[in-house]
Amino acid sequence: MPSTNSGNELLLRFFESAHFTSQLCVAYLSRYPNNIGIHHFLCEKLASFSYEEIEFFIPQLIHLVLNKDAESVALEDFIIHECERNTQCALITFWYLQAHMVDLSLLPRSTSFKICKRLYNRIQVLVFMTSSFQSQQKISENVSPALILSGIMLGGVLVPELLKKVGPIAIAQGRKAPRQDSEESDTDVLHRLSAESRYSFDIIQNSKAPSMDGQNSGHLFPTVSPLARTHSHQSSGALSIDEQRRLLRSNYFQQEIQFLFALQDISIRLIIVPRQARLSSLRAELALLNNSLPADVNIPIMRPYYNEVSHKIVRIDPKEATILNSAERVPYLIYVEVLSGELNFEPNSKSNIGKVQKLSSHKNVKRRWFDLTDVNSTSAYHDNLNAEGSESESEAGDLSMSPLVNKLISPINFASKSSSNIQDSSSQASMIHKGTDVLLVPGRRSDSGEHFSTKRNKAYASEITTRMRAAATMLSQLDIEGSKRPKAETERIKASIILDMQHLEEERLNEPSTYPVSVDISCAEDLHSNKDDQHHDRKGDRDDPSAATFQEDWYSKKERIRKFSPYGHLPNWDLVSVIVKTGADLRQETFACQLIHAFRRVWQESKDKVWLRRMKILVTGDSSGLIETITNAISVHSIKKNLTREMQEAEMSEGKVSGKGVATLKDYFVKRFGPPNSDRYYQAQTNFIQSLVAYSIISYLLQLKDRHNGNILIDSDGHLVHIDFGFLLTNTPGNVGFESAPFKLTADYLEILDNRFDEFRSLMKKAFKSVRKRADQIILLVEVMQNNSSMPCFRGKENTSAQLLQRFHLQLSEKECDDFVDLLIQKANCSVWTRLYDLFQSITNGIF
């Protein structure tokens, strides 16, 4: 029987081999949680991989550190170290920990909650403080690490390398907080944890507490001032380069977090607005948000991996924003104008020298950015730039705990702060709509359309937004009081209010003064003179505002927006597009995108000619996030709906009776790519086959469900793209296995495959066998996440990875595997279950 030492030697050789990937490193961290030496070695090994690889595994690393209850603190220290090195890592980790804090808040006595809270506090100190905190963290009274360290010091006399290698491990373990095993109530635990963590924030003497409005904003965790460590008498010259760099990073984090909160609040406010008025309200809100731009903010998922230089957001185009179709929530899509390479954290750069001096001296430094709630207090001539002076000193101690204590002791439903503002105007709104006539006073406009001050711009946008919110309140009250009025009267009032809201939107869009005055005013005048050319684009399709948005070619749209943008003349101008989503936990979506990207890497390594689209998601809480927009792609539902209408209208214009049924994908391919015998059509058909193979295999192995035509896109090159991964692995819509086909293979798809069906079948077999050879790369990701996970896809718990392994059928020979793929294709081919599910979606949701 081999000795333990020989086993460890073999393990060490494997760890140091070229075959030991970052994914295996994460997997072995999961397998050896209580071996302190191995844990520290693996974390040191993980640090040697590129940041891109490390970022890919952030969800797994956080899940491990919270759920494995390891004796080692190596993983926790590794996460902190990576967050110190990279701002994007710190931001992603901050959001994930915040989401987990919400999950664990009902279990404050659990070890997972204590670890999460401790790590979350350390991240807060890291991102909001301007001096290093590691050196101030005390070593706890841990006997074992102390004894080990004493032995190492003695042994170091004879073996100097021993102290160098093992000494840091003992010191790190010495900082581990002691276990608390006393019996306490949940409330007592929360109070004690809050008190224990005060030492982390004792050095924050000059920080400002969030206002009451901020606590009622629907965000569980307030943030601390970015200037907490600097004092008013300090100058930038008194700060070291590292402290200046931390100051810039802290300023970025504060602005970035508040910017994302502002985007989320808009979505929450739109929920109470009737569908017909949401687009107008959205655009008014974004116009107000533009008053705080440009700012030191970016879209994190759109920044490069290799350095700390990023783009800077200068403007969000309100007229291009659109509401996406959703039954309950109000996700919306925005087009964000950025300047590449403008945001960095080097104190000596030209753009940061003055900024560091301003931040370190506390002169005219704002504490609250992107505050869209206090619009009524905005005046054209009284804009208080130092609103932070009215805020009181922080008494919270632990910045993450006080809302949790309040939540447990006095369960309050924290609604959006905007909701309270809307309700505050209810009395005024009710007085307006008591009669049957509705009057929304139009805003003031400049006859000349020339120069306005920035304060006037803010006041004008605030005035428009205030009236928009008052109108939204009136509409919501009409729904509540609808039974008290005749239906016809209620509908007439609603129509009048919505019409006035649309007029307000058009007035705002025609107003050149809403553009920044820091740029050449001729840009705004040019836009004003061309308003007739864009009038149709501004209104959009109000019945389905997202349809026209996705039909326009991305590059054409980009050039059109650049032409009319006040920043478009700058050489580093660029455009990015994201979807803002609230009310849904996007951690499962992110995990599904991880798995899909893992499949993509497998096929790239095996050089199989299949195609997948990588999609990036930024989780910003337990129920919010940003999703990368799939540009130049439109849903199969929209394609068939629009093409059916066009074909029917064409027949009617020719005096024919419309005999054409629902348009097919073949009709669309012929219209877009030309006749089937053309080279362009052949290439689009090839792209369709390659993407259909990849998504078919993934749909079977990951058990992707809810595959209706609204969740499947086709891009401008003919590729299929799947989105919306709310159901995979072990959870299904309604917990009923209605979609029992292994993947979707409809008559529409077969019509496009045409005489190349055998090519599709052959590629399916080849790609399935390639991914089967590397099945461990997929299964390891699932194994790491399945224990104690709150994601619905892990309802099967430990059985999840076992069932996934079975679907790979590793026991089959090559010939048997080919026969198995043939069987899958046969089951999927025009499956009656697929047809029934599409019919169900057509009847219930109108999906073509």
- pLDDT for 632-663, tens place per residue? 999 999 899 989 888 888 877 777 666 667 88
**Residue 370, pLDDT score:** 78
Residues whose CB is less than 8 angstroms from the CB of residue 844 and which lie 6 or more positions away in sequence, other chains included: none
pLDDT of residue 838: 86
Residue 620 has pLDDT above 50, yes or no: yes
Give the per-residue pLDDT at 326.
Answer: 65
Average pLDDT taken over every residue of the chain:
74
Return the pLDDT at 384. Answer: 36
Degrees, nearest 5: CA angle 511-270-533: 30
Please identify, in words, the CATH class of the domain defined by 632-845. Answer: mainly alpha
Q: How many of the other CB atoms lie within 10 Å of CB of 386?
A: 12
Reported as half-sphere exposure (CB side, CA atoms, 13 A), residue 79 has a value of 29
- Mean local confidence (pLDDT), 754-775: 95
Please tell me the pTM assigned to this model.
0.76
**DSSP assignments along 702-757, one per residue:** TT-----TTSEEEETTS-EEE---SS-TT--GGG-----SSS-B-HHHHHHHGGGH
Asked if 17-138+186-202 and 632-845 have one fold, the answer is: no
**pLDDT grade for 498, boundaries at 50, 70 and 90:** low
Provide the pLDDT for residue 828.
92
**Cβ-contact 403, 189 below 8 angstroms:** no
- Per-residue pLDDT tens over the stretch 122-169: 888 887 765 554 444 554 555 454 444 454 444 444 445 544 454 454
pLDDT in tens, 253-284: 989 999 999 999 999 888 888 787 888 889 88
Lowest-confidence pick of 294-298, 493-497, 805-809: 493-497
Work out the average pLDDT over 788-813.
Answer: 90
Using alpha carbons only, give the angle 554, 558, 560 rounded to the nearest 5 degrees: 115
Which of 463 and 616 is assigned the larger pLDDT? 616
Output the DSSP codes for 581-607. EESS--HHHHHHHHHHHHHHHHHHHHT
Q: What is the pLDDT of residue 379?
A: 36
Q: Which residues of 335-360 are buried (b: 16+ CB within 10 A; e: fewer)?
A: bbbbbbebbbbebeeeebeebbeebb
pLDDT of residue 32: 84
pLDDT reading at 483 higher than 60: no
Q: State yes or no: pLDDT of 186 exceeds 70.
A: no
Q: How far is CA 610 from CA 445, 696, 814, 826, in A?
A: 56, 11, 20, 21
Residue 182 has pLDDT above 70, yes or no: no
- Note the pLDDT of residue 178: 54
Could you tell me the pLDDT band of residue 772, with boundaries at 50, 70 and 90?
Answer: very high
Domain positions in the chain are 17-138+186-202, 236-295+345-390+399-523, 632-845
Q: What is the DSSP letter of 328?
A: S
Q: Is the pLDDT of residue 490 over 80?
A: no
Q: What is the pLDDT of residue 659?
A: 62
* Cβ contact 256:133 at 8 Å: no
Q: What is the predicted pLDDT for the residue at 239?
A: 80
- Reported as a pLDDT band with limits 50, 70 and 90, residue 402 is very low
Q: Residue 58 in 3-state DSSP?
A: helix
Q: Which tens digit of pLDDT belongs to each residue from 38-72?
A: 888 899 999 999 988 999 999 999 999 998 776 77
Q: CA of 222: how far to CAs of 212, 252, 402, in Å?
A: 10, 16, 9
pLDDT band at 540 (very low <50, low <70, confident <90, very high): very low
CA atoms within 13 A on the CB side of 739: 27
Is the pLDDT at 416 greater than 50? The verdict is: no
Predicted confidence at residue 3, as pLDDT, reads 53
- Name the residue with tokens 């071996």: 35
The mean pLDDT of 691-702, rounded to a whole number, is 96
Per-residue model confidence as pLDDT tens digits over 195-230: 444 433 343 333 333 333 333 344 444 444 444 444
Which percentage of the chain shows pLDDT scores above 90?
Answer: 33
255-264, 324-333, 398-407, 564-573: least confident range: 398-407
Estimate the crossing angle of helix 241-270 against helix 350-361, to 10 degrees.
80
Map tokens 């792609």 to a residue: 633
Residue 335 has pLDDT above 60, yes or no: yes
Residue 447 has pLDDT above 60, yes or no: no
The whole-number pLDDT of residue 531 equals: 41
516 vs 673: which has the higher pLDDT: 673
pLDDT in the model for residue 560: 94
Quickly tell me which residue has 């279950």 as its tokens.
833
Report the share of the chain in percent with pLDDT over 70. Answer: 62
448-477: b (≥16 Cβ within 10 Å) or e: ebeebeebbbbbbbbbbbbbbbbbbbbbbe
Q: Which uninterrupted H or E stretch holds 835?
A: helix 832-845
**Maximum Cα–Cα distance across the chain:** 100
Buried b / exposed e across 402-417, counting CB within 10 Å, b at 16+?
bbbbebbeeeeeeebb
Q: When comparing pLDDT for 73 and 678, which is higher?
A: 678
Is 166 in a helix, a strand, or coil? helix
pLDDT of residue 842: 84
What's the CATH number of domain 17-138+186-202, 3.40.640.10, 1.25.40.70, 3.30.1240.10, 3.40.50.2300?
Answer: 1.25.40.70
